[in-house]
Amino acid sequence: MKKVFSFILFLVCFSTTLPATTAAEQRSFRISKNLSIFNSVFRELDMFYVDTLNYDKVMKTTLDQMLAKLDPYTVYMPEEETDDLKFMTTGEYAGIGAMIMKKDKEILISEPYEGMPAQRNDLRAGDVIIEVDGQKVEGLTVSEVSAKLKGTPNTLIKLKLKRLGEKKFVEKQFLREKIQVNPVGYSAKVADKVGYVLLNEFTDRAAIELKSSVADLIKQHKIESLVLDIRNNGGGLIDEAVKIVGYFVPKGTDVVTTKGKNSEAERTYKTPSEPIFPELRLIVLTNRSSASASEILSGSIQDLDRGVIVGERTFGKGLVQNIRPVGFGGHLKVTTAKYYIPSGRCIQALDYSHRNEDGSVGRVPDSLTTEFKTRNGRKVRDGGGIVPDSLTKDDRKLNIAYYIFAQNLYFDFATLYVQQHPTIASPADFTLSDKDFKAFSDYLVEKKFAYTTQTEKYYNELVETAKIEGMDTIAKVEFAALKAKLVPDITKSIAENKSDISELLSLEIIKRYYFQKGEIQYSLRTDKDLKVAIELLKPNGAYLRKLKP
């Protein structure tokens, strides 16, 4: 017993003389240990798993699952997605300039871009792609066909297409080109001395294209106010957002500060030049899909009291990502910091893993957020997006109009419509006639259109649960009465929702003749947020009052 005690005492004394490991050494050991375990598991699977492994697929799945546990924006991008990475930052790729989609088992042209090779060579929405460069596309995914359409600029592409109304295949051949998508989707005068610019993304030409569009509006229409639309703009490059803010505020103004674990992630972005439009009254339109750089722009404009924000609460993405190479052509888009706008607040949603079904930030109690002040002393809060100064709400319901959209029936009818109507009125004047609406209603009947509402799906789940609990027989009469009310009367629903159906159908038809710009021009005719903005900017409007505490 004495010997055992002496041995334990020796161990205790000896251990006290060993140097303590640093946190860095412990972290390095844990990394090495887990990488070793992963390597061993991978090799064991390769040797003993019953089926042959697809190494690339297994690794991609593993990485995706690992990164998904961190945040929604940290992702691995393999070499084959390099073109997508370039498009995210520059809006540039080489190809034909058209969007494609899958319908049933076919790949179709869904939207040719105006002025791009596809449109100039008469590729039309609704054309079914049969072959690309002599290779059949049957069975391929949208991304696989997209990869075939892309390529080196000035290389020949040959397409075989199936077109509605044509008995033979349509064959086209032309050169791929460098496609540069303009981040400014549309600009126009929308009211007396009021200009409008739609900014779709913050790619590396966003600031310069916006400056050019606003300068043209000032020169041609003598505008004194600007409505900047960044609804559905998911963000992009921080520098571009800072440059745009700099067009409206003094040089050297703090716009955004990033703070992360590493000192290299910490930086304050200041406006780089003297303002170009210092006197222009400014309204920024936002919605629940305005994110990241869009929130930097709208949030800093709000914090600096430089303009009025109109629309819906923004997405709530206050995280910064950097692109880092990880070998073999792959990249890691990794969250490195949070950003803070001029008032000092961070607009990151408190819980980015749980959102409403539409992706928007839920109601965040004031008790969980912190109050900040704008430059003029107005109260603003952190914890989940930018709350507009004039808050609007999309009160449209999930009705039959959107179930028709989900089944691509507007798209299919528009393809038929084009065959029978060589021209239509301009987007500013187009109105869907009662005759055309009746033709579409008949088309839905012909296609045996039917749908199941979300409420009916929940009802079916309730019935199944009731059966398990033995409640189905007790409430049999009530269940039958409820079901009778839930099954949609399609004819009645079409009549009751004619306005929404007509709007979505009109947008699809107009795109076939006037492309994306025509679609935007038509939608602005009934845009509630734009109407609110124009009212605020009137001489007796509340624009200046909105900027006061």
The answer to whether 292 is a known catalytic residue is: yes
Q: Please state, in angstroms and rounded to a whole number, the distance separating the CA atoms of residues 302 and 281.
A: 13
Query: 336 — alpha (psi -120 to 50), left (phi > 0) or beta?
Result: alpha
Residue 167, token pair as written in the block: 């008995």
Measured over the CA atoms of residue 239, residue 245, residue 251 and residue 252, the dihedral's sign is negative
State how far the Cα of 109 lies from the Cα of 128, in Å rounded to an integer.
6
Catalytic residue check, 317: yes
DSSP state of 397: -
**C-beta of residue 493 within 8 angstroms of C-beta of residue 400:** yes
Q: How far apart are CA 235 and CA 289, in angstroms?
A: 10
Strands 92-95 and 177-180: antiparallel
Distance between start and end Cα atoms, the chain: 81
Among 303, 382, 527, 529, the active-site one is 303
CA-closest candidate to residue 427, choices 501, 519, 499, 503? 519
Selection from 204, 255, 197 nearest residue 230 by Cα = 197
- The closest of 455, 446, 438, 359 to 403, measured between CA atoms, is 455
One-letter amino acid identity for 316? G
pLDDT value of position 365: 67
Q: Which position among 110, 187, 213, 292 bears the catalytic label?
A: 292
Cβ-based neighbour number of residue 476 at 10 Å: 11
Mean pLDDT of successive 10-residue stretches along the chain, which has 549 residues: 46 50 85 92 92 91 91 86 70 89 95 96 97 96 94 95 95 95 97 98 97 98 98 96 98 96 89 97 97 97 98 93 89 92 89 56 69 96 92 88 96 96 96 97 95 89 91 89 88 94 98 97 97 96 96
Distance of alpha carbon 366 from alpha carbon 383, whole angstroms: 9
- The phi, psi pair for 421, rounded to 5°, reads -130, 95
- Coil/strand/helix, residue 282: strand
Strands 225-229 and 281-286: parallel
> Tell me, what's the pLDDT at 306?
98
The secondary structure element, H or E, covering residue 445 is: helix 434-446
3-state secondary structure of 82: helix
Element (H, E) at 325: strand 319-327
Angstrom CA distances, 50 to 40, 46, 53, 67, stand at: 17, 9, 9, 27
- Relative orientation angle of helices 476-486 and 454-469, to the nearest 10 degrees: 170
For residue 314 the two structure tokens come to: 């923004």
- Residue tagged active-site, from 148, 160, 243, 317: 317
What one-letter code names the amino acid at 324? R
Based on the residue annotation, tell me whether 192 is a catalytic residue of this protein: no
For residue 464, give the H/E element and its range. helix 454-469
Give Cβ neighbours of residue 517 (< 8 Å, ≥ 6 apart): 114, 185, 186
